[in-house]
């Protein structure tokens, strides 16, 4: 099956009895001031469940805010400083549901198509906020089908689609049972240094030096910052943090050629890297094998 790829903040919604918690992938609490808790209790139908999805922020019309703006608001929820008005704008797109005991064990042998059954009540229950939805899901039979949905998603302004194995179990680790289709690639790297700018940016942020978890990918990122970020992001705010980066290709940092299956170099960089955001919800960088 294929589903649209969302561009927000990954969330686990943990429902145990009458208690609901919104947490990032690394377990950090997201405080949404009680919004949607009643609906998730209703959705769980007296089962202890963990719902996997993406938090987005409504633009007040029929769409959502761009990632930088939306995640800026969601980062306030992690810090406990979100306003009531902003909390009421948060929406969630769900794509998986794991029984809580399986989540704690780190593995569920329930096939994905069967876990999706737990999400069916979203459309049948009267969710009063109308802010909980299931990712549009389409069964596909070949790569031509996948490409049709991918092109349709791009035409609609979406980032891309994700192809998923309907028979896959759930594991609490990076899954090998899915494939992302999108125009540009993205990865999460560790910030190891802050470099001062020159010229009009003297005394401000010029670039961030980033590296992968295995130190095999090293890159200087000086694009993607607005003037406010260059003025306000200090070394203490960045070094040691995980940074999301968008790029066009992985390249050998020695000869500059595009990475290929016959490449022999062990040190890599990224072609046209662009800063996206500091990832307050993550504490571990990607390794070379995770960066496509």
Q: Looking at residue 266, what is its pLDDT?
A: 59
List all residues 6 or more positions away from 86 whose beta carbon is below 8 Å from its beta carbon: 57, 73, 76
Q: How far apart are CA 116 and CA 108, in angstroms?
A: 13
Q: What is the CATH number of domain 7-136?
A: 3.30.470.30
Cα angle 263, 264, 269; round to 5? 70
- Kindly report, residue by residue over 183-221, the tens digit of the pLDDT: 788 999 999 999 999 999 999 999 999 999 999 999 999
| pLDDT, tens digit (0-9, with 9 covering 90-100), for 45-80 | 999 999 999 999 999 888 899 888 999 999 999 999
Pick the CATH number of 185-290 from 3.40.50.300, 2.40.50.140, 2.70.98.90, 1.10.3190.10: 2.40.50.140
- Output the average pLDDT for the chain: 91
Predicted model pTM:
0.78
Domain range summary for the chain, segments of one domain joined by + = 7-136, 185-290
231: three-class secondary structure by DSSP: helix
Residue 263's pLDDT is 47
């Amino acid at each position: 099956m294929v589903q649209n790829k969302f561009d927000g903040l990954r969330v686990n919604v943990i429902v145990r009895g009458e208690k609901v918690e919104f947490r990032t992938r690394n377990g950090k609490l997201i405080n949404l001031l009680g919004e949607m808790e009643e609906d998730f209790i209703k959705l769980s139908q007296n089962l202890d469940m963990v719902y996997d999805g993406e938090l987005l922020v409504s633009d007040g019309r029929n769409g959502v805010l761009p990632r930088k703006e939306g995640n800026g608001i969601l980062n306030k929820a992690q810090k406990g400083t979100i306003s009531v008005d902003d909390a009421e704008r948060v929406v969630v797109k769900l794509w998986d549901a794991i029984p809580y005991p399986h989540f704690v064990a780190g593995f569920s042998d329930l096939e994905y198509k069967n876990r999706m059954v737990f999400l069916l009540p979203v459309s049948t229950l009267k969710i009063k906020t109308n802010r909980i939805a299931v990712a549009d899901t389409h069964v596909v039979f070949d790569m031509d089908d996948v490409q049709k949905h991918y092109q349709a998603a791009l035409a609609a302004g979406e980032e891309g689609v994700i192809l998923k194995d309907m028979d896959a179990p759930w594991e609490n680790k990076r899954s090998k049972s899915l494939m992302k289709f999108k125009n540009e690639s993205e990865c999460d790297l560790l910030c190891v240094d802050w470099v001062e700018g020159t010229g009009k940016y003297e005394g401000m942020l010029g670039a961030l030096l980033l590296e992968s978890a295995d130190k095999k990918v090293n890159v200087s990122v000086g694009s993607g910052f607005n003037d406010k970020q260059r003025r306000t992001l200090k070394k203490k705010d960045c070094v040691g943090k995980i940074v999301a980066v968008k790029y066009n290709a992985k390249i050998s940092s020695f000869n500059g050629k595009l990475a290929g299956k016959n490449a022999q170099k062990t040190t890599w960089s990224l072609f046209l890297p662009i800063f996206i955001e500091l990832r307050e919800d993550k504490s571990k960088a990607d390794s070379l094998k995770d960066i496509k």
